[in-house]
Structure 1
Amino acid sequence: MPDQPVIDSGLTLHRYPLLASIDSPADLRALPEHLLSAVANELRGFLVDTVAETGGHLAAGLGVVELTIGLHYVFETPFDRLVWDVGHQAYPHKILTGRRDRMRTLRQQGGLSGFPKRSESDYDCFGVGHSSTSISAALGMALAAQRLGERRDVVAIIGDGALSAGMAFEALNHAGSMDIDLVVILNDNEMSISPPVGAITNHLARLLSGKFYTTMREGSKTALRGMPQLRHLVGRWEEHMKGMLMPSTLFEELGFNYIGPIDGHDVHAVVKTLRNIKEMPGQRFLHVVTQKGHGYEPAEGQPVTYHGVTPFDRRTGELRKGASKGPTYTQIFGGWLCDTAERDARLVGITPAMCEGSGLTQFAKRFPDRFFDVGIAEQHAVTLAAGMACDGLKPVVAIYSSFLQRAYDQLIHDVCLQDLDVTFAVDRGGLVGADGATHAGSFDLSFSRPLPKLIIMAPADENECRAMLRTAYEYPGPAIVRYPRGTGPGVAIDPMADALELGRGVVCRQGANIAILAFGSMVTPALQAAAALDATVANLRFVKPLDGALIEALATSHDLLVTVEENAIAGGAGSSVAEWLAEQGLTTPCVHLGLPDRYIEHAEHAQQLAECGLDAAGIEASVRAAFSRFDLHRLLPATESTPDPAMTSPRAVRQQGSGGG
């Protein structure tokens, strides 16, 4: 485990004496069961205290406090495996598994990750961040245990939102067909499957998970093995009796023994049911009903707002927001979408469960019959758009960069191969700060650039984003507008901005000797670095098609070319420039700056850029180091603030001579 800062939480823990005594799940299991309700109250209060300081995901964790306690109380973790889906709800798990005193470092550079992470703790048996992976991973672990002869329990905990994804049902279908011991727990926090539950349903769940029922159920299978017709009749009777009282039929048909629903905030009911389930063989499916944000009134009333929060006032729940820096790129997209929908009735908006995050809230309210939230189903979202485009609609798919990865085949096969008119508004391109590597859009330029017929644009500022969205929408084929998280440099927006000429960049600053070819978010720091270097800066605008004429003009009039992008260097926009130069036989030395060949961990966005050498200082240092290597440093302007050109840049950058130059 890497060294991480430890923050003394003594000032808070004096209010939580039981929680202060729990340094591991073994300490929790040593407590008498009658104290678990008190532990839940303390855990919930401590969670609110710490997230109020750091920000992060709150409402989901509040909803699983009792479930988390019950799981660690009944199962012998970490030998038994708990696989959390998505990871938003795993903060209570972190607190109970030896990380309590580091919770104030959450999502900060060098601190705890906001998601389960294998390198952080032995209790995090599977790293997550994207949804719907838990059942597949848990099944893999159960099969490994079976193969290696290890008698351990494996439990997947999945939310009802994540259960909407096809991958979850693929895993359920596979698991149900096997002879395997596996527990799947559905955390139903939106009441989307069952009505409210109470004492009767809790009693029924305990009964169905108890030894008497289990013995009768398994014994009848053995006794009736030689009488298939009677066995089938008894099985159908059992299924229909349970189906009359609870939503079990689907999961029973998939091969699971369904138990529930139970009240997920009754810690004693949770523990009793989990103990019974632990003694049962085969595939078990426990349905737990919880309330997102439970126990903290502001989060109970606004679970969407308090899903992910900035630091807030613990007493009032008021979120602390910094000074406004203008509209975010997400808001710019949302405004453009509504304006365009007013003019064109063919426009439809599609999102895979990211209405708020992708900026579609106002569009959904104003054009409800043209808004399609497909749930956590990225593959379906893209092919749905393809089908709409086939028959005359103009679909716009709003999706995070890291989620588009999950629909790559659909992007290739269903959209680009057929040259369909689908616009992709790709949010969170590049590094994303505290959410870290799981949500960083580090690879979209690399994986989308090879696709024929696809146009790819990256805006340098707010107005250019608006113009590019119009360009993509008017282009009669597949097009991507890829923009970063957060705000831009503060350029005023022209709502009537014209579409851009395809494949044409623009020179933003004229200098000498050095030409910096910047893409998207890197134009601003490139201009800052260029002031010290007296360099030319070109905003390429288009990753595909490239502006070959502009690149040739810069290559033949400068001694060094530098490409800068907030994307992986491998296969990215800079690689495209190098390929073009080689095809033309141009040998101007070329240096490529971008994200290095490793995952960038959570930190503030500015810290991440500095780590990668993509802030202004890092770009300047890398250019000066390159000039020294190519023996061109005599051409650089000398300044007191710049480093010795003979020094090697401390940042990890990959240099590549173009055409052997």
Structure 2
Amino acid sequence: MAIIPGPLLQTVNSPEDLKKIPEEKLHEFCEELRQYIIDVVSVHGGHFAASLGVVELTTALHYVYNTPNDLLVWDVGHQAYGHKIITGRRDRFATNRKYGGLSGFPKIAESEYDTFGVGHSSTSISAALGMALAAKYKGEAGRKVVAIIGDGSMTAGMAFEGMNHAGVSDADMLIILNDNGIGIDPNVGALKEYLTDITISPKYNKFKDDVWKAMNKLPIGKRISKGIAHKLADGLKGMINSNANFFESLKLRYFGPIDGHNITKLVDTLKDLKQIPGPKILHIITTKGKGYALAEKDQTKWHAPGLFDKVTGEIFKKAYDTPQPPKYQDVFGKTIIELAEKNDKIFGVTPAMPSGSSLKYMMEVMPDRALDVGICEQHAVTLSAGMATQGLKVFCNIYSSFMQRAYDQAVHDVAIQKLPVIFCLDRAGLVGDDGATHHGCYDVAFFRCIPNMIVSAPMNESELRSLMYTAQLEKTDAPFVIRYPRGQGVLADWKTPMKEITIGTGRKLKEGKDIALLSFGHPGNFAASALRTLQQEGIMPGHYDMRFAKPLDEALLHEACRQYPKLITIEDGAVTGGFGSAVLEFMAKHGYKNEVRIMGIPDRIIEHGTPGELQRECGFDVEGILQTVHEMMNEKIVVKEGRLSV
């Protein structure tokens, strides 16, 4: 179905085209842009509510600033769909987040207007400051730099670090605080309360009016001297009430709050702020999901709803004739409640992802034992370590790719002290259409090299439950990693009895001959499926579900190495330093000379697509396993209609 943009939007293929639209018609353009995002995302999927909330801001920025010479740095990128459409990617927007199509986030390799690759939050201020300092050093006095950050992202320590440096620099940069009270889930913490106080303060609204009256006296169209600007800034500080002390204490000149959906006000404000040099912050108030009533009402649900009927709001779900397996995250969310009901030492901690991780279930029934700490992975890990020193069993639930942000804390605060924090790493492996910034590729490799660390992965939901049970036992006295993928598992009847698993032991699932499959985690299901096909062809591989990458089940490995001359390791993590590497290290230590193939995520950046498409690209899907077995067994391979046969 062809989606036709509105008449004004049809004329805009670049910011230069946007500037040709009369200012009094910008509100019409914004409505067309908002409707186009709704039309495309409802049919093709993607993130939704965040970009609707910044339509006016996006339009104003490209209308006022000289992009791409002036640099816009978006935080995360969920909110950058309008930016992509304005900057020449309108006709390709339907390919957003699809295999081979546009990235769901700004990406340097995709467009000169995408100044910085983003996917994880709170990087914009630091990156923009670096660009502004570089422009100053290179003598590019006319170049402007703007960081656009949501208030959810502002909770992270990196944002504070960036502001702390920016305030004492003389970098010419503007920070725009997009205050909508929500990231993916509602924001938490003192900053949220602080911003609310500013927004509703009568004194502060009077201050705002005084500021803009002063601004209106500026000579429009003329460049203000640095001295005059500093005097103006000093004068404005005198009008600021106590609520603004936080930003002013960091020596950032603060302006706002203003209505982020008033395009005229935004354009006028940005034009004025362009004339004031130095580091400054503009606070705007927006509504996530603006212009689509259902998204405004339930912003978490409509963050990324999938395909939907834009008229009725019905979100399309696949219909199944039989019960389907649950998502791994939901198995975690329900199982931790079961465990916590029997063990009063259990706590749950997540950095701003209670819905994504399904810790929300525990937060509903045990609100005093489940904590959302905001977008603060480092804090989440060290908080969990502190609780562990007092005898608590903390399930610290973090997406695998976000765990990278707290690596030092995992080493310094947890592993060195051998504190039994339980790391439940959601979204391990290839996550799909979020792409390179969100794939959980590296956790096995970076955790496996840390002393005292236990690294495990369940093959199915039942194994996940038993690993969680084992991790919370009193005798488990070391940090324990449990990694599992995004999406559905394999067991419709998943609520199985939990049992203790001896740490460092795997399972022999199938006796065979000549060749053995050693799988780690969910890809063991791909191996099992391939094995059934191979048996029909007369090939009888053995299959071991190893369960632990550290410590390895050495008894099983000795058995496999002695019995099978050919081995294949299968994992959904980086092959460099991952589970397969661990097997090779074991073999080298014990002098084994078996022929080995390592299957997993290759040593390159994997872009976006469905998990199935990406697993096929990386070669460890069912067909990839079949092909590798055939190659090692010296069979002739024939590819026909996407399937392998001998």
Q: Shared topology, TM-score over 0.5?
A: yes
Partner letter of residue 578 of structure 2? G
Alignment of 1:215-230 (within 5 A): 218-219=227-228
Identity of aligned residues (%): 45
Change (3 A) 1:336 1:486: same
Letter in 2 for 1:255: K
SS in 2 for 1:433: coil
Code of the aligned partner of 2:556: L
Give the aligned residue type for 1:275.
Answer: K
Report the secondary structure of 2:516's partner residue: strand
In structure 1, what is the equivalent of residue 281 of structure 2? 285
Q: Which amino acid aligns with 1:19?
A: L
Report 1:355-370 matches (<5 A): 355-370=354-369
In structure 1, distance between residues paired with 2:214 and 2:370: 42
* More divergent stretch after superposition (99-108 vs 156-165): 99-108
1:554 is the counterpart of 2:545? no
Determine whether 1:32 maps to 2:28: no
Equivalent pair of 2:325/2:494 in contact (CA under 8 Å): no
Question: How far did 1:393 drift?
Answer: 1.6
- Residue 595 (structure 1) aligned with residue 596 (structure 2): no
Aligned to 1:520, what secondary structure does the other structure show? Answer: coil
Equivalent positions of 1:351-430 (< 5 A) are 351-430=350-429
1:70 aligns with 2:69: no
Q: Which moved more, 1:581-590 or 1:72-81?
A: 581-590
- Whether the 8 Å CA contact 1:202–1:269 is kept in 2: the answer is no
1:5 corresponding residue in structure 2: none
Distance in 1 (alpha carbons) for counterparts of 2:524 and 2:238: 64
Deviation at 1:313, TM superposition (A): 0.6
CA change 1:614–1:319 in 2 (3 A) is: same
Whether the aligned pair in 2 keeps the contact of 1:443 and 1:568 (CA below 8 Å) is yes
Once the two structures are superposed, the pairs formed by residues 574-589 of structure 1 within 5 Å of their partners are 574-589=580-595
2 CA distance for matches of 1:250 and 1:338?
39
Give yes or no for contact 1:427–1:485 (8 Å, CA) kept in 2. Answer: yes
Provide, for residues 536-584 of structure 1, a one-character-per-residue CA deviation record: whole Å limited to 9, x for no partner.
1110011111011111111111120110100000000000000001101
Distance change in 2, residues 1:407/1:437 (3 Å):
same
CA distance 1:264–1:538, change in 2 (3 Å): same
Deviations 1:330-385 (A, max 9, x none): 00000111111111121111110001001111110111111211111100000000
2:472 aligns to what SS in structure 1? helix
Q: Could you tell me which runs of 5 or more consecutive residues in structure 1 were left unpaired when the two chains were aligned.
A: 1-7, 224-233, 645-661
The aligned amino acid for 2:118 is V
State the partner residue of 2:550. Answer: 544
Taking the TM superposition and a 5 Å limit, the aligned residue runs for 1:462-477 are 462-474=461-473, 475-477=476-478
User: Structure 1 residues 341 and 413 mapped into 2: Cα distance closer, same or farther (>3 Å)?
Assistant: same
Residues in 2 aligned to 1:461 and 1:27: alpha-carbon distance in whole angstroms? 53
Partner deviation per Cα, 1:101-147 (whole Å, 9 max, x = no partner): 11111111111111001111111010000000000100111111111
What's the offset of the Cα at 1:239?
Answer: 3.2
Q: Summarize the Cα distance change of 1:273–1:136 in structure 2 as closer, same or farther, 3 Å threshold.
A: same
Task: Provide the secondary structure at the position in 1 that maps to 2:258.
Answer: strand
TM-score normalized by structure 1?
0.89
Q: Is the 8 A contact 2:459 2:525 kept in 1?
A: yes
- 2:201, 2:59 → 1: CA distance? 20
Partner of 2:239: 241
Contact 2:224 2:276 in 1 (8 A): no
Distance in 2 (alpha carbons) for counterparts of 1:410 and 1:429: 19
5 Å-filtered alignment, 1:159-238, equals: 159-190=150-181, 192=192, 193=195, 194-196=198-200, 203-207=209-213, 209-210=215-216, 212=218, 218-219=227-228
**How far does residue 590 in structure 1 lie from its aligned partner after superposition?**
1.2
Distance in 2, Cα, partners of 1:617 & 1:253: 60
User: Shift in Å at residue 323 of structure 1?
Assistant: 3.4
Check whether the contact 1:446–1:571 (CA below 8 A) recurs between aligned residues. Answer: yes
TM-score (normalised: structure 2): 0.91
Cα distance between partner residues in 1 of 2:429 and 2:517: 19
2: CA distance, partners of 1:520 / 1:348: 25
Q: Is 1:522 aligned to residue 523 of structure 2?
A: yes
1:477-492, aligned counterparts within 5 Å? 477-490=478-491, 492=493
Contact kept in structure 2, 1:462 and 1:491, CA below 8 Å: no
**Equivalence for 1:127:** 117
Task: Give the secondary structure class of the aligned counterpart of 2:348.
Answer: strand
| SS in structure 1 of the partner of residue 582 of structure 2 | helix
1:229 alignment counterpart: none
Distance between the aligned counterparts of 1:156 and 1:592, measured in 2? 42
2:210–2:239 Cα contact (<8 Å) kept: no
Q: Tell me how far apart the structure 2 counterparts of residues 496 and 518 of structure 1 sit (CA, whole Å).
A: 23
CA drift at 1:626: 3.4
Aligned length: 616
C-alpha contact (below 8 Å) 2:229/2:276 kept by paired residues: no
- Extract unaligned runs of 5+ from structure 2: 183-191
Offset from partner CA, 1:598-639 (integer Å, 9 cap, x none):
1111111111111111111111112322344xxxx59x99x9
CA distance in 2, matches of 1:316, 1:273: 37
**1:158 matched to 2:149:** yes
- The alpha-carbon distance between structure 1 residues 590 and 268, as it changes in their structure 2 partners (threshold 3 A), is same
Distance 1:182 1:217 in 2: 14
Distance 1:398 1:39 in 2: 42
Q: Are the equivalent residues in 1 in contact too, given 2:511–2:542 (CA < 8 A)?
A: yes
Contact between 2:207 and 2:239, CA under 8 Å: does it hold in 1? no
Counterpart in the other structure of 1:567? 573
**Residues in 2 aligned to 1:484 and 1:251: alpha-carbon distance in whole angstroms:** 40
Q: Indicate yes or no: 2:489 matched with 1:496.
A: no
Secondary structure of the structure 2 residue equivalent to 1:434: coil
User: Residues 294 and 407 (structure 1 numbering): CA distance in 2 closer, same or farther, change over 3 Å?
Assistant: same
Which residue number corresponds to residue 187 of structure 2? none
Separation in structure 2 between the aligned mates of residue 315 and residue 343 of structure 1, nearest angstrom: 46
CA–CA distance in structure 2, aligned partners of residues 318 and 242 of structure 1: 46
1:295 equivalenced with 2:283 (yes/no): no
The whole-number CA distance in structure 2 between the counterparts of 1:597 and 1:356 is 31
Q: Give distance in 1, aligned partners of 2:545 and 2:150.
A: 43
2:90 matches 1:100 = yes
CA contact (8 A) 2:348 2:395 kept: yes
CA–CA distance in 2 between the matches of 1:317 and 1:576?
A: 49
- Alignment partner, residue 449 of structure 1: 448
Residue of 4, 23, 27 corresponding to 1:12: 4
Structure 1 distance, partners of 2:276, 2:469, is: 58
Deviation at 1:308, TM superposition (A): 1.3
> What is the alpha-carbon distance in structure 2 between the residues aligned to residue 221 and residue 570 of structure 1?
54
**1:495 Cα offset (Å):** 4.4
Residue 218 of structure 1: how far off its partner (Å): 4.1
Q: Supply the distance in 2 between the matched residues of 1:554 and 1:348 (Cα, whole angstroms).
A: 39
User: Contact between 1:197 and 1:261, CA under 8 Å: does it hold in 2?
Assistant: no
